[in-house]
Structure 1
Amino acid sequence: MDELAHKRNGAASVKTVLFLVFRIGQERYALRAVDVVEVLPRLQLKPIAQAPSWVSGVFAYRGTVVPVIDLCQLTFGRPAQLRTSTRLVLVHYRGEAEQPARVLGLLLEQANDTLRCDPQQFQPYGLDNAQAPYLGPVREDAQGLLQWVRVDDLLRPEVRELLFPSPPLDLAALEEPR
Structure 2
Amino acid sequence: MSDLAAKRGAVPAAKKALFLVFHIGDERFALRATEVAEVLPRLPLKPIAHAPLWVAGIFAHRGALVPVIDLSALTFGQPAQARTSTRLVLVNYQPEPWVAARWLGLILEQATDTLRCDLSEFKPYGLDNREAPYLGLVREDAAGLMQWIGVNELLTEPVRALLFSAELSL
TM-score, length-scaled by structure 2: 0.93
Cα distance change of structure 1 residues 121 and 45 upon mapping to structure 2, 3 Å threshold: same
**Aligned residues, how many?**
166
Note if contact 2:161-2:168 (Cα within 8 Å) is conserved in structure 1.
no
Q: State the partner residue of 1:28.
A: 28
Cα distance change of structure 1 residues 81 and 99 upon mapping to structure 2, 3 Å threshold: same
Q: State the partner residue of 1:5.
A: 8
The higher radius of gyration belongs to 1
Cα deviation for residue 166 of structure 1 reads 4.9
SS at match of 1:152: helix
Matched residue type, 1:79: P
Matched residue type, 1:150: G
Matched residue type, 1:138: V
Matched residue type, 1:153: E
SS at match of 1:9: coil
Query: Aligned partners of 2:48 and 2:6: how far apart in 1?
Result: 61
Cα distance change of structure 1 residues 34 and 167 upon mapping to structure 2, 3 Å threshold: closer
Cα deviation for residue 97 of structure 1 reads 1.9
Q: State the partner residue of 1:38.
A: 38
Q: State the partner residue of 1:108.
A: 108
Cα deviation for residue 4 of structure 1 reads 9.8
Deviations along 1:19-62, whole A, 9 cap, x unmatched? 00000000000000000000000000000000000000000000
Which ranges in structure 2 are unaligned for 5 or more consecutive residues?
A: none
Matched residue type, 2:16: T
Cα distance change of structure 1 residues 3 and 57 upon mapping to structure 2, 3 Å threshold: closer
Query: Aligned partners of 1:99 and 1:150: how far apart in 2?
Result: 17
User: Which of structure 1's runs of 4+ aligned residues deviate more than 4 A?
Assistant: none
Query: Aligned partners of 1:124 and 1:167: how far apart in 2?
Result: 34
Q: Could you say what the CA RMSD is over the residues aligned between the two structures, in angstroms?
A: 1.8
Query: Aligned partners of 1:167 and 1:148: how far apart in 2?
Result: 28
Matched residue type, 1:9: V
Q: How does 1:2-151 map to 2 (within 5 A)?
A: 5-6=8-9, 8-10=10-12, 12=13, 14-151=14-151
Which ranges in structure 1 are unaligned for 5 or more consecutive residues?
A: 171-178
Query: Aligned partners of 2:128 and 2:159: how far apart in 1?
Result: 21
Query: Aligned partners of 2:65 and 2:168: how far apart in 1?
Result: 12
Cα distance change of structure 1 residues 160 and 142 upon mapping to structure 2, 3 Å threshold: same
SS at match of 2:161: helix
SS at match of 1:74: helix
SS at match of 1:90: strand
Matched residue type, 2:74: L
Query: Aligned partners of 1:124 and 1:161: how far apart in 2?
Result: 30
Query: Aligned partners of 1:83 and 1:62: how far apart in 2?
Result: 25
Query: Aligned partners of 1:72 and 1:41: how far apart in 2?
Result: 16
